[in-house]
Amino acid sequence: LVNASRVIEGEGTPEEAWEGWDIPLHVPSVSFGDLVAPDERLVVIAPHPDDEILGTAGLLRAAHAAGRAVALLAVTDGEASHPGSTLYRPEQLALVRQQESEAALRTLGLAVEAMRFGLPDGKVSAHEVELVGLVAGLIRRGDVVVTTWELDGHPDHEATGRAVRAAAVLVGVRCLAAPIWTWHWSDVGDARVPWDRAVRLDLSPEDADAKADALLQHRSQLEADPTTGRGPILPPWARARLLRNFEVFFR
Ligand SMILES: [Zn+2]
């Protein structure tokens, strides 16, 4: 279970507050080559379709531009994002979100096809041992793996973060963690966030634009659902925290 201090509710810490704190002042910039060496393959492991965009679109673009091999592993198909909805039923969502993910990757300019594990959305922690085995079977020495941070606040993000780190230790590869919902529940300068291990990758204007365009492909996450009365999964204030001109990773 996720610790009560990392619960995602309300609108979270506004991006204006993060801007006021000035993340680049506290988190050093690194080059793409510092994150992924010339002979390394970049493997991004996303709990839900869209996490690869929210956390790593700029890193993926940089890898592609540098001619690095890229692989994407999709842990769930994101079928649980609209409980009770008649607009999006779970079996439809699994297909819709897969298509959205493919469109988003095309928008980024990447020709990469995700390998899908199909674990149940919302219940990754119940399959954590299985996930360690799946990931360990697909990564190899010479990879750098990037996934969601194991204290990110969303149960699937945390379970995926733990499982991928365990697999990375087993295989002997480096693991980077991308905070996503962390920006929601944490406060500026929050002592629960490992700022001493944080680095940032600055995005060119072109890469930042491509990231924003790619996120627009995830329409199911951006629109309100009139059949449940719920607002979008990613309302504007959540998107603002994730469409910065840099991405942060914990080493
Ligand atoms: Zn997610």
pLDDT tens profile 11-53: 999 999 999 999 999 999 999 999 999 999 999 999 999 999 9
Beta-carbon neighbour count of residue 135 at 10 Å? 25
**Above 80 in pLDDT, residue 152?**
yes
24 alpha carbon – ligand 1 mean position (Å)? 24
Q: Tell me what the mean pLDDT of segment 84-102 comes to.
A: 96
126 alpha carbon – ligand 1 mean position (Å)? 16
3-state SS string over 178-212? Answer: ECCCHHHHCCCCCCCCCHHHEEEEECCHHHHHHHH
39 alpha carbon – ligand 1 mean position (Å)? 29
How many Å apart are CA 203 and CA 249, to the nearest integer?
13
How many Å apart are CA 168 and CA 71, to the nearest integer?
15
**pLDDT averaged over the chain?**
96
* Closest to 214 measured CA to CA, from 52, 47, 17: 52
Tell me, what's the pLDDT at 8? 85
Burial class (CB in 10 A: 0-12, 13-18, 19+), 3: exposed
169 alpha carbon – ligand 1 mean position (Å)? 23
**Above 70 in pLDDT, residue 1?**
no
How many Å apart are CA 54 and CA 52, to the nearest integer?
6
157 alpha carbon – ligand 1 mean position (Å)? 6
Q: Among residues of the chain, what percentage have pLDDT more than 90?
A: 95
How many Å apart are CA 123 and CA 221, to the nearest integer?
19
- Annotate 108-120 with b (16+ C-beta within 10 A) or e (fewer): bebebebebbebe
pLDDT band of residue 7 (cuts 50, 70, 90) is confident
Parallel, antiparallel or unpaired: strands 174-178 and 143-148: parallel
Q: Tell me what the mean pLDDT of segment 81-101 comes to.
A: 96
Q: Residue 84 CA to chain centroid, in angstroms?
A: 25
101 alpha carbon – ligand 1 mean position (Å)? 12
**Above 90 in pLDDT, residue 101?**
yes
Q: Tell me what the mean pLDDT of segment 142-155 comes to.
A: 97
* Closest to 182 measured CA to CA, from 145, 149, 214, 213: 149
Q: Among residues of the chain, what percentage have pLDDT more than 70?
A: 99
47 alpha carbon – ligand 1 mean position (Å)? 5
Which tens digits make up the pLDDT trace of 171-195? 999 999 999 999 999 999 999 999 9
